[in-house]
Structure 1
């Protein structure tokens, strides 16, 4: 869990959300939403994994994994339930947990958006503003959500709970 109270977003997560929404709306206004646009987004996601600036496909998930492991170990110390399991089954806590995840990954997502915009301008010579937040969330938030729960379970086993049981 991050240092900020999970009920409230700090300034950085708010700025990231506003920036991502603004970019997404700009992209929708400029290019619309169609099968062709969606196909281009997925093609670009796969095509960008090699070539210039491909380091971000390792950097962002690694940073998200580090944040997830840190928060998963903290969950184990404070006897919180497994993050992913609680997120999946407890609808009441889902919004709170999503705020927590966004707070923990705000810098990673912002970095991803900036890197992707730079990639678009330098390599594609064109700006697709809605793609930057999509790729940044895919590379920064998704690994966090997937890794935090298993990190808690592994930390429980490491500290002596052989079952690694979800509390």
Structure 2
């Protein structure tokens, strides 16, 4: 049985959603017991250094590196099609904002979903519990920022080389 890329993307996204859904009850219990939301607490900031040294620390290198690669690929496509720089077009309300957002999300969807799953696994290994809010924030930050910056910079570089 052969799966298409969109089917695999959907499976990865569904798995990330299920992992977050499974972690939600313990996060709600933690919020009621402690009276704080982990993502907005001092404990979250205190726990950040452990993420860089604990299990899964390689994701802080690999995920942004893959996002940069995808951003460069997207920037080359933007240069070939004559589009505005990615972030500029998104922020200024260019006519093709919807198409740009869709292409950017399609490019990083799997990475974001996998980064959420990796963050959940790392949290479980490091802390013995899972905070889904932190996974939803940290995963996309590791992917979306490097992707958007690489896409814009590679577009600029391609235009300068021409």
In 2: Cα distance, 1:37 partner to 1:96 partner: 32
List structure 1 segments (4+ residues) > 6 angstroms apart after TM superposition.
none
Aligned to 1:55: 58
C-alpha offsets along residues 101-127 of structure 1, whole Å, 9 cap, x if unaligned?
A: 221011211221121111112221112
In 1: Cα distance, 2:54 partner to 2:38 partner: 23
Residue 19 of structure 1 deviates from its aligned partner by: 3.9
Residue 85 of structure 1 deviates from its aligned partner by: 1.0
User: Contact (CA 8 Å) 2:16, 2:116: kept in 1 or not?
Assistant: no
Task: State the secondary structure of the residue aligned to 1:49.
Answer: helix
Aligned to 2:146: 143
Structure 2 counterparts to residues 82-161 of structure 1, below 5 A = 82-90=85-93, 93-158=96-161, 160=162
Structure 2 counterparts to residues 20-59 of structure 1, below 5 A = 20=17, 23=20, 26=24, 29-32=28-31, 34=36, 37-39=39-41, 40-59=43-62
User: Contact (CA 8 Å) 2:120, 2:135: kept in 1 or not?
Assistant: yes
Aligned to 1:16: 13
CA change 1:92–1:81 in 2 (3 A) is closer
CA change 1:17–1:137 in 2 (3 A) is farther
CA change 1:94–1:30 in 2 (3 A) is farther
Question: Structure 1: any 5+ residue segments left out of the alignment?
Answer: 1-9, 161-167
TM-score (norm 1): 0.73
Residue 47 of structure 1 deviates from its aligned partner by: 3.4
In 2: Cα distance, 1:13 partner to 1:83 partner: 25
The number of residues matched between the two structures is: 150
TM-score (norm 2): 0.75
**Structure (1/2) with the larger helix percentage:** 2
Question: Structure 2: any 5+ residue segments left out of the alignment?
Answer: 1-5
